[in-house]
Structure 1
């Protein structure tokens, strides 16, 4: 069966504990790595045991063009740090007409960094902002 809801013209809607932070144009870092430990068995020289030890989650970076009020919900959330309680984040990929294509839920999310646009007069370009999140788990939605 052919899937007609493909990821073309994608934007990413982000919610933190149900509060919408808006749409982002790029999302980088969704993933998980199984950290392996190598063990050499005494007397067995033909191979090395590869044992899974823990999961490692990279930070997620979300970027978008700056618009009127785009930074306000992010900065309001970050301003609660360092007393911020780890949150749940939902990232939904949407196609060009706003249909949900896929979704991911991140657990125990905390903000790591927000960076605003570089304001330089030498070259006109789209001003962007980036939000970086650390988390302790990912699941499909």
Structure 2
């Protein structure tokens, strides 16, 4: 067992076959809504709780805006009525050697929101664009 926990700043994202650098990835959650139930002859005046269906909140990706890079928008443009280009996205937290230590895999991901950078005449920050994706499942693997 290692003496120190992993640092969260060393990670990579496989964007459906292409490795892309991001400043931030957030929303790597798995949630489950419990089902409450009580039958009429129960001597307890409370409900029991049982596991319900899993739900997977959207994932948010943030990165710097680069001249000539319009990949977020191009992916968003694939949405047409009930069709969209879906991707498997792999996010890997890397150890000190650059090898994946923990891997999150998003199943059937597609874009749902694109936010361009804000513009400020007196600003001194990097232009950041944000993409929010929905997906149908998240698996976590410890390597």
TM range (shorter): 0.7 to 0.9
How has the CA–CA distance of structure 1 residues 58 and 117 changed in structure 2, closer, same or farther, with 3 Å as cutoff?
A: same
**Distance in 2 separating the partners of 1:9 and 1:81:** 32
- Segments of 5+ residues of structure 1 without an aligned counterpart are none
Pair 1:132-2:132 in alignment:
yes
**3-state SS of the aligned residue for 1:53?**
coil
Structure 2: tracts of 5 or more residues without a match: none
Tell me the equivalent position of 1:36. 34
Q: Report Cα offsets for 1:12-70 as digits up to 9, x if no partner.
A: x32333233x111211111111111111232322542102221110000011222344x
Residue 126 of structure 2 aligns to a residue whose secondary structure is coil
Q: SS of 1:24's equivalent? A: coil
- Cα RMSD after superposing both structures: 2.4
The two structures have a TM-score, normalised by structure 2, of 0.80
Give the strand-richer structure, 1 or 2.
1
Q: 2:78 aligns with which of 71, 77, 80?
A: 80
Residue 15 of structure 1 is matched in structure 2 by 14
Residues of 2 paired with 1:5 and 1:44: CA distance? 48
Query: Counterpart in 2 of 1:24?
Result: 22
1-structure distance, mates of 2:105, 2:85: 17
* Pair 1:57-2:56 in alignment: yes
Do 1:7 and 1:101's aligned partners in 2 also have CA atoms closer than 8 Å?
Answer: no
Q: Work out the CA distance in 1 between the residues paired with 2:133 and 2:100.
A: 22
CA distance in 2, matches of 1:134, 1:99: 27
* TM-score of the two chains, using structure 1 as the length reference: 0.81
Partner of 1:48: 47
